Amino acid sequence: MTSPAHSSSATPTSSATTTGPVLLRHTPGRGTLGGVGLVLIGTVSVQFGSACAALLFPRAGALGTVALRITIAALLLLVITRPRLRGYTRTDWAVAGGFGLALGGMNILFYQAIDRLPLGAAVTIEVLGPLLLSVVASRRATSLLWAGLALAGVYLLGRGGFGQLDAAGVAFALGAGVMWAAYIVLNARAGARFPRLDGLTIAMSVAALVSLPLGVGASGGALLEPAALGLGLAIAVMSSGVPYALELLALRRLPAATFAVLTSLAPAVAAAAGYLVLDQGLSLPQCAAIAMVVAASAGAVRTGHR
């Protein structure tokens, strides 16, 4: 099957038992504009959800918070979608399982990063993963210029934008970026193989099975406190249920490369969320670093557009 990163996004097949997705060319129109809108709404939701998640860290810890978020989101999706589990091939299940591992790994690593770094800094470093995916997918020399601009922005970020960054936090953010790139590709493939939101529901359940033991081991009974459960529910809706559903639907309308660079607008949204929710102020170097990454994303979108 053609990789979504190198082709137009796939549309879901009419039968879950087909051996591969039907690939369609995307042309500009309402579907494309709608896909862009879905990505932007999902980005705002997930970044403000991440800011709210940081408020739960003192009570439940980073691992406990991500376990609450993913497990509650998985339960909600199971109740709402009631996915059909029969009629799929081994390849279908492998895609869904890989999607779940990428989703769980991305969130676990990202929460470790924002436990050590300001939200805007963590997201700025994390988006290097999707941006690299867009550069590879476009196969154009000019894309390297935008990648260089993004790297320069991250370099400025580490030099003086946020002060001396925690090395472990940077490593976790970079790891989350790698998982984000894998999530984009596998999300598109799951959307092509599973009807409705069934692929997302199965993947979220896999991610819950990975994250819940880690959260229970780290936080124990704190996860069952009413305040933790209430905030965990809000975070699950804002950071998992709403954005992932919107992104899966968007990937049925947009090429994966375009999706990747659109989500790279996240640093600006994350910086705003960190300022409004967590009182993480912005200096001029911070703003410049984030603007460089956002400009690189916008340039990559324009260069890679067909």
Domain locations in the chain as residue ranges: 28-304
The pTM for the full model equals 0.77
3-state SS, residue 283: coil
7 φ, ψ to 5°? Answer: -150, 180
Could you tell me where the beta strands, DSSP code E, fall in 168-284? none
d(CA 264, CA 296): 9
- The owner of tokens 């991440």 is 50
pLDDT digits (tens), the chain, 306 positions: 333 333 333 333 333 333 333 333 444 455 577 888 888 899 899 899 999 999 999 999 999 999 999 999 999 989 988 888 888 899 999 999 999 999 999 999 999 999 998 898 888 888 888 777 777 776 677 777 877 888 788 777 766 555 567 889 999 999 999 998 898 889 888 888 998 888 889 999 999 999 999 999 998 889 999 999 999 999 999 987 788 788 778 878 887 667 766 776 788 888 889 988 988 877 787 788 888 888 887 676 666 554
The count of other CB atoms within 10 Å of the CB of residue 26 is 18
- Bridge partners of 285, per DSSP, are none
Four-point Cα dihedral 38, 40, 46, 51, nearest 10: -160
Tokens of 37: 């809108």
Give bridge partners of residue 11 from the DSSP assignment: 22
207, 120, 99, 210: which is closest to 169 by C-alpha?
Answer: 120
How are beta strands 22-23 and 10-11 bridged, if at all?
antiparallel
- φ and ψ of 225, to 5 deg: -65, 140
Return the structure tokens found at 48. Answer: 């403000």
CB-based contacts of 150: which residues, under 8 Å, 6+ apart? 127, 128, 131, 264, 292, 293, 296, 297
